[in-house]
Structure 1
């Protein structure tokens, strides 16, 4: 009799467990995410670093080019939006590599942010146009990627041939390195005037603490190859309204 009662108890407990496992837990996905929206004007690189931005030059044969005020010791061009006494934007250039022609992979990484589908990254960017010696200008072909890290809030970017944890690309500007000029812009090329771009976070199963990043990426870039320099200004992260 005690053995029968023991079996009945086990079956009852198992039934309760199975029922509990099958109940609707979709409410767990409806997490209220605090508003993550912010704007970064990059009036100074030091202030951006203090706010949690990270700069990583991961280029092949790393050169002296870093993300800095104005993109160079002498600003590459005038800023889009300037609220201080410096250049008012952040940028980098072909000196990211010390080679005549190699892979440029120079990262500008955001502070940690809760990423969710529909969030938007809005920013302004342009490239540097240089005299081509033929009465016109050229930017030598620049490219920018916007990637997100949905694995963690770290800054692992692999080596110059890969992207590490930032393996979801949500925007690519001029991925085929089309060259353009200031006076005669070419369709699909990197803009040589400040231009607004918008990237939308996608492919995220549920809200996750991660980061987004701008990757200045040029294959065959350098002092005798592709790339001139680019600037980024007025970056806005806009949380989707739930």
Structure 2
């Protein structure tokens, strides 16, 4: 019974060391103060055309409160990222992060909609600290023309053939601010690392188990120490080399099947595939191709809601105030005179 207690205690200590060594979050941002984001490695890129009067801004509690924390503790964007009739393409890039298969990007997202289609796309780049938008691959799309409320989302990294570094990105996209785009908010962004067993912990566990086994069987110290040395050599593995596999002494890898090339997958938001017009092959769209697909989808939607421009006031030199109304504001009717018995014509 005493031996069983020792084994259980050693296993519990080793397990605790293994998890705490490598499971800390890589990123945890609550957007309490977005003016501090740039200093922490976040990047803002507003490629909207023509540019509007806003970009990313501190959340506005009068529109809706944050998902967590103070009421304004989220980052927001709206259709005014582009001028009226323009296209919104507003990017928010995370700091550079170490990337491994199994890590997850978690965030809260709210699309206000109110009859105007709001769309947020999520991307991943494995290009290190690069901010070149052409290197980002689309992971998921979230769109709604009605208020979604705050929804928690998670995207898991998969298909990496080797450890990498790069950035995640959020993109607020609107193809025509006359008929689409309202207000969106992002809150509580985190990237969680996976727990990787530490080789030293494995070796320590093997040493302790071998020692307990040797003592329990009455072996001389020299015998169980030699046995422990063999166990240490067998477990002296590299954590995660470039090929993603742990290696062991005295073991030769003759052939290795390559992992399938794929991108991370999202738990929600749909999937887009782009057909190359030259080759006819399907593939993951780049940002420009994704925007082209979105535009085609939205153009086919029935009954888009139009947003009217507020008429600009006119101040004539002789005094007074007036406005110039376009066809959207003008009311008129057509009257036809019916023919009479006297032969009048219409």
Instruction: Indicate whether the TM-score tops 0.5.
Output: yes
Asked whether 1:123 is paired with 2:103, we answer no
Higher RCO (C-alpha under 8 Å, 6+ residues apart): 1
Deviations 1:9-59 (A, max 9, x none): xxxxxxxxxxxxxxxxxxxxxxx9885522100011112222111111111
**In the TM superposition, what is the alpha-carbon distance from 1:171 to its structure 2 partner?**
1.8
1:125 is paired with a residue of what secondary structure? Answer: strand
In terms of fraction of residues, the more strand-rich structure is: 1
Provide the residue aligned with 1:89 in structure 2. 74
In the superposition, the TM-score normalised over structure 1's length comes to 0.67
Number of aligned residue pairs: give it: 176
Counterpart in the other structure of 2:87: 103
CA RMSD of aligned residues (A): 2.2
Q: Which residue of 2 aligns with 1:215?
A: 171
Q: Hey, which bits of structure 1, 4+ residues long, moved more than 6 A?
A: none
Among 181, 202, 212, the alignment partner of 2:158 is: 202
Matched residue SS, 1:61: strand
- Does the CA contact (< 8 Å) of 1:54 and 1:111 recur in 2? yes
Kindly indicate whether residue 165 of structure 2 is the aligned counterpart of residue 165 of structure 1.
Answer: no
Distance 1:170 1:240 in 2: 19
Q: Which residue of 2 aligns with 1:62?
A: 51
Counterpart CA distance in 2 for 1:206 and 1:145 is 25
User: What is the match of residue 5 of structure 2?
Assistant: none
Match of 1:4 in 2: none
TM-score, normalising length: structure 2:
0.47
Q: Which has the higher helix share?
A: 2
Unaligned runs of 5+ residues in structure 2 are: 1-20, 197-346
1:227 paired residue number:
181
**Contact 2:30–2:74 (CA under 8 A) maintained in structure 1:** yes
Whole-Å separation in 2 of the counterparts to 1:77 and 1:205? 42
CA distance in 1, matches of 2:115, 2:66: 17
Kindly indicate whether residue 19 of structure 2 is the aligned counterpart of residue 43 of structure 1: no
In the alignment, the residues of structure 2 paired with residue 55 and residue 92 of structure 1 have an alpha-carbon distance, to the nearest angstrom, of 12
Question: 1:145-185 CA distances to partner (integer Å, 9 max, x unpaired)?
Answer: 1101112311122xxxxxx111x2222112xxx522x4xxx
Note the C-alpha offset of 1:103: 2.4
